[in-house]
Amino acid sequence: MLFYRCSEVRPRQSSALTPLYISVTLSVCVCSRKQLPTAGPGPGPGPGPGPEPEPGPGPGPGPGPSCESFGSNESMDKLISFKEGQSPDPRSLEGVDGSSGAEPDSIFTKVAAPGEVPCDVCTGTKVKALKSCLDCVISYCETHLEPHLTASRLRRHQLVEPVENLETRMCPKHSKPLELFCQSDQTCICLMCSVLEHKSHQLVPLREECEEKKVDLKQMIQKRREKLEEIRESVRIRKDAADRAEGVEMFTALMELVQRGLKELMETMEEKQEAEEKEAEGLIKELEEEISELMKRSSEVEQLSRSEDHLHLLQHFCSLKAPPATKDWTEVMVRPSSYEETVLRAVAQLEDTLSDKMMKMKMKMMKMKMMKMMQQFAVDVTLDPLTAHPKLVLSDDGKQVYHSDEKKKLPDNKERFSKCVCVLGKQSFSSGRFYFEVQVKGKTKWGLGVVKESINRKGDIYLRPENGYWTVILIDRNVYKALDDPSVILHLKCVPEKVGVFVDYEEGVVSFYDVDAAALIYSFTHCCFTHKLHPYFWW
């Protein structure tokens, strides 16, 4: 085993570049490591203090029982020369007993790997830096960092995690560390800059500005994420199959309307043409009959003119004196029909129909757009079992409620309704906008709306805005009421199967909608909300 002892030998005048000589005395122990009773006194790689050696017969500690001691003439001194502040080259300890002076993993620090910051002081093999000093502008390994941890003057230096290119952290004008940030010029400066060029500027420490920039960056990222979600939602809505089907349905209806108008126009034209053809056929028949009669009379006259029988001529001449009655065809004309008036009338009628249809479609589109706008504020509502009347049965997920004839035995806590068969939503809202939908298909009675958190829940309850209730109800199968002050009977065009409730807390508005028809049922306006609001369900 190899032990070494170091003693420092300095010249009278030293500087950063003056060699420092260390005398290293090495002694060789021929015993094996396991046989060694105690660790050597140097900073060797031994396993640590072992058991105390047995005292020898002499007055002082002697060599181990299995060790051979060497006299001064057998000791080996070796001078190692290196610059002050640098670690010795391990190779300078080799060659004493044919092996290295120490195990690399125990005495010498880990060598800097690619991508790691090396120690600027080490020569030869570069050791991984432990810290970088902004005052010295040098990175130090664990060995060379020791003076900065012990010397009072060096302990005041600013140490940071190892960084490359330390010169970029120094002021190019004053060669001082960049410690401040000038908000006026948006640049990093040193202390010297703060009293010279940037004397009257707004200055903050780098850490403070960095934290502020991090907050700004997070806000920028958050805003862009929100915009990204908004764009994705817009794309999703545009690609929605239901929307496409609605648009196709509208244009199909318009095309059917035009085709139906064209069909009606063609039928009108055909009917008019048939009537004109029938009239022309009657005139032709009448003319043919007159012509036939005249030709017959002409034949008779011609025969009489040729007759030599005077008696026969005289007897039939009187009948020839009165010519057959004929029609005056001078004013009779058959002109080809003009359908211009018919077409113009049909087009005008179609235009009116299309305009009416387009207006209805536009209103429907506006209603659907409004519904989609409100649905953007949709919230997830679950029923609160602590508020449910004992006759109500809630589903496990809190999304459905059933009315039971049996009254369950439940604790009469202050949140529970004792007489009114209703339940509240768990969620409460005290600002902004929110929207939720309720399936009421097949129900013969129901009540929906919002209530303030501090409402009375025991005994008889009067559902009025002044009592903290903004509700719409269905009773007697087909009687719809808005329980305003006074109550308003609602006349709905169709029976709603799904009702949407929209609340704008700041504007003081509670609106109810028929979701499928995208039609407004009723709105409470000018409400003054000062408490938390809960969704309300009467079943």
Check residue 245 and give its pLDDT: 67
- The answer on pLDDT for 3 being more than 60 is no
Q: Residue 254: how many CA atoms within 13 Å on its side-chain side?
A: 16
Segment 224-249 mean pLDDT: 73
Confidence of residue 86 (pLDDT cuts 50, 70, 90): very low
Sign of CA dihedral 493, 499, 500, 502: positive
- The pLDDT > 90 percentage for the chain reads 35
Segment 272-301 mean pLDDT: 81
Check residue 17 and give its pLDDT: 36
**pLDDT single digits (tens) 171-210:** 888 888 888 999 999 999 999 999 998 988 999 998 898 8
Check residue 16 and give its pLDDT: 37
The residue among 451 and 351 whose pLDDT is bigger is 451
**pLDDT single digits (tens) 91-139:** 444 433 433 333 344 344 578 888 889 998 998 888 999 999 988 888 9
Output the six-digit token pair for 288.
């043919």
Segment 476-481 mean pLDDT: 94
Check residue 332 and give its pLDDT: 66
- The answer on pLDDT for 13 being more than 50 is no
Segment 44-57 mean pLDDT: 42
- The answer on pLDDT for 63 being more than 50 is no
Task: Check whether the bond before 486 is cis (ω within 30° of 0).
Answer: yes
The residue among 29 and 242 whose pLDDT is bigger is 242
Check residue 182 and give its pLDDT: 94
User: How far apart, in whole angstroms, are the C-alpha atoms of residue 425 and residue 422?
Assistant: 10
Check residue 339 and give its pLDDT: 65
The residue among 29 and 298 whose pLDDT is bigger is 298
- Which residues have C-beta within 8 Å of that of residue 211, sequence separation ≥ 6? none
- The answer on pLDDT for 31 being more than 50 is no
Q: Of 95-109, 224-238, 442-456, 503-517, give the lowest mean pLDDT range.
A: 95-109
Check residue 489 and give its pLDDT: 97
User: How far apart, in whole angstroms, are the C-alpha atoms of residue 392 and residue 413?
Assistant: 15
**pLDDT single digits (tens) 265-278:** 888 888 888 887 88
Tokens 């600027």 label which residue?
A: 120
Q: Residue 208: how many CA atoms within 13 Å on its side-chain side?
A: 9
In 3D, which of 526, 517, 534, 521 has the Cα closest to residue 436? 534
User: How far apart, in whole angstroms, are the C-alpha atoms of residue 48 and residue 27?
Assistant: 19
Q: Which residues of 412-441 are buried (b: 16+ CB within 10 A; e: fewer)?
A: eeeebbeebbbbbbebebeeebbbbbbebe
- The answer on pLDDT for 463 being more than 90 is yes
- The answer on pLDDT for 43 being more than 60 is no
Sign of CA dihedral 166, 169, 175, 177: negative
The residue among 196 and 239 whose pLDDT is bigger is 196
AA identity, residue 260: R
- The answer on pLDDT for 255 being more than 70 is yes
- Which of 77-81, 311-315, 401-405 reaches the highest mean pLDDT? 401-405
- The pLDDT > 70 percentage for the chain reads 72
Output the six-digit token pair for 361.
């479609």
Check residue 244 and give its pLDDT: 66
Average pLDDT over the chain, rounded to an integer? 77
The residue among 337 and 278 whose pLDDT is bigger is 278
Check residue 234 and give its pLDDT: 72
AA identity, residue 81: S
Tokens 């007759």 label which residue?
A: 307
Q: CB of 428 within 8 A of CB of 367?
A: no
Output the six-digit token pair for 66.
């299995």
- The answer on pLDDT for 148 being more than 70 is yes
Q: How many other CB atoms are there within 10 angstroms of residue 489's CB atom?
A: 8
Sign of CA dihedral 526, 527, 530, 533: negative
Q: Which residues of 115-127 are buried (b: 16+ CB within 10 A; e: fewer)?
A: eebbbbbbeeebb
Q: Of 74-78, 137-141, 321-325, give the lowest mean pLDDT range.
A: 74-78
